[in-house]
């Protein structure tokens, strides 16, 4: 068992603030353009994380670095992907990795009540830029005044209970013991509405009361195991059917993204502890272009260069 020192508060606060800001950025996009595709929301999240800067030394003299890599999801169109984003946490001491943890996020966005299922398809990739040159009738229909509403009865239209994707996730977890989590993209607040075409710039300066919420696949299955195959959950379903500790204001409908990263993954309760970069679980996710994710985020936490191992080091698993 590798033992590690307690991570200073300024390190955890800094990481939490970065992911809270990313959470808000994505939630603002859902609020402003509620028809944004899941893949585009993933890209916004990854892009904003990439802007967090290079290695950052905090007052405790610990160094944190967040790196991102976007591969793109085109290779997944002939198979069900396991997850969209891989989260890797690396802990370094004296320049060497002494511990790592991994978690996977499968993105699902909340759909407006007025919108049918609509996500990027293989045809969109094959058409390339020609997809942006809309036929006249398509443009006319898209620009007619229309209001899109996100409410408690709005549904995560790309999530169907008992479908092939859920079977693939369950099989993957059983084989590699790597936990998969649903990452639910929501607006800043619920209810929320937007009317197109916009008549003026919208300023979203209110709090992020909802935003991105994370729930493990296993906890989700506990809450929805009795629901019929093919059922598409609503926000209200997720907010009320999940087991404890979900249900309170901070955890309603899942962990806030920033709390999940800091308190659940770095804080130990969730994630897959990998021995080293040759670990089969690591290789299965990050080791090949055919791996089951389209983007990766790494958080590297380094101790001060002159810090020695001591009796105050605690377990980090």
| pLDDT-derived band at 214, boundaries 50, 70, 90 | very high
How much is the pLDDT for 230?
95
State which residues form the domain around 292: 3-315
| Structure-model confidence comparison of residues 201 and 114, the more confident one | 114
Weakest mean pLDDT among 83-87, 179-183, 299-303: 83-87
Cα 135 to Cα 131, 138, 142: the distances in Å are 9, 5, 11
Tokens of 85: 């984003």
Measured between alpha carbons, how far is 57 from 98 in angstroms, rounded to an integer? 19
pLDDT at 316 over 60: no
What stretches of the chain show up as alpha helix (H) in DSSP?
9-32, 38-50, 122-127, 136-142, 164-176, 217-224, 235-241, 257-259, 280-286
pLDDT mean over 224-233: 94
Question: What would the pLDDT profile of 91-134 be if each residue is shown by its tens digit?
Answer: 998 888 888 899 999 999 999 988 766 665 544 545 556 666 66
Domain count across the chain: 1
Measured between alpha carbons, how far is 197 from 175 in angstroms, rounded to an integer? 48
Torsion region of 98: left, alpha or beta (phi above 0 gives left; psi -120 to 50 gives alpha): alpha
Measured between alpha carbons, how far is 311 from 134 in angstroms, rounded to an integer? 65
Nearest 5 degrees, angle CA 93-CA 94-CA 96?
A: 65
pLDDT mean over 185-192: 97
| pLDDT-derived band at 74, boundaries 50, 70, 90 | very low
pLDDT at 210 over 50: yes
How much is the pLDDT for 310?
59
| pLDDT-derived band at 291, boundaries 50, 70, 90 | low
How much is the pLDDT for 46?
93
The residue whose two tokens read 């006249």 is 136
Measured between alpha carbons, how far is 28 from 137 in angstroms, rounded to an integer? 29
Question: What would the pLDDT profile of 234-260 be if each residue is shown by its tens digit?
Answer: 999 999 999 999 977 789 999 999 999
Tokens of 258: 């920033």
How much is the pLDDT for 315?
47
Cα 264 to Cα 90, 114, 238: the distances in Å are 15, 35, 19
């Amino acid at each position: 068992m590798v033992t590690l020192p307690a991570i200073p508060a300024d390190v955890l606060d800094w990481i939490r603030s970065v992911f809270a800001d990313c959470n808000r950025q994505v939630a603002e996009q859902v609020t402003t353009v509620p028809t944004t595709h899941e893949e585009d929301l993933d890209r916004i999240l990854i892009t904003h994380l990439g802007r967090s800067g290079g290695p950052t030394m905090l007052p405790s003299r610990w160094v944190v670095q967040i790196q991102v890599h976007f591969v793109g999801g085109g290779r997944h169109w002939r198979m069900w992907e396991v997850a969209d984003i891989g989260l890797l946490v690396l802990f370094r001491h004296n320049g060497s990795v002494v511990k790592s943890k991994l978690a996977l996020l499968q993105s699902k966005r909340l759909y407006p009540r007025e919108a049918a299922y609509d996500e990027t398809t293989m045809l969109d990739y094959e058409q390339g830029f020609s997809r942006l040159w809309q036929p006249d009738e398509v443009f006319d229909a898209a620009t007619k005044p229309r209001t899109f509403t996100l409410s408690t009865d709005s549904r995560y239209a790309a999530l169907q209970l008992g479908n092939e994707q859920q079977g693939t996730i369950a099989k993957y977890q059983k084989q590699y013991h790597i936990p998969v989590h649903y990452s639910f993209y929501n607006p800043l607040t619920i209810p929320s509405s937007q009317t197109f075409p916009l008549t003026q710039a919208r300023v979203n300066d209110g709090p992020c009361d909802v935003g991105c919420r994370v729930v493990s696949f296993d906890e989700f299955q506990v809450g929805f195991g009795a629901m019929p195959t093919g059922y598409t959950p609503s926000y209200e379903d997720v907010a009320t059917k999940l087991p404890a500790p979900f249900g309170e204001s901070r955890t309603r409908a899942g962990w806030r993204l920033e709390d999940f990263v800091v308190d659940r993954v770095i804080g130990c309760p969730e994630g897959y502890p990998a021995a080293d970069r040759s670990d089969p679980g690591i290789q299965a996710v990050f080791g090949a272009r055919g791996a089951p994710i389209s983007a990766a985020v790494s958080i590297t936490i380094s101790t001060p260069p002159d810090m020695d191992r001591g009796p105050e080091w605690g377990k980090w698993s």
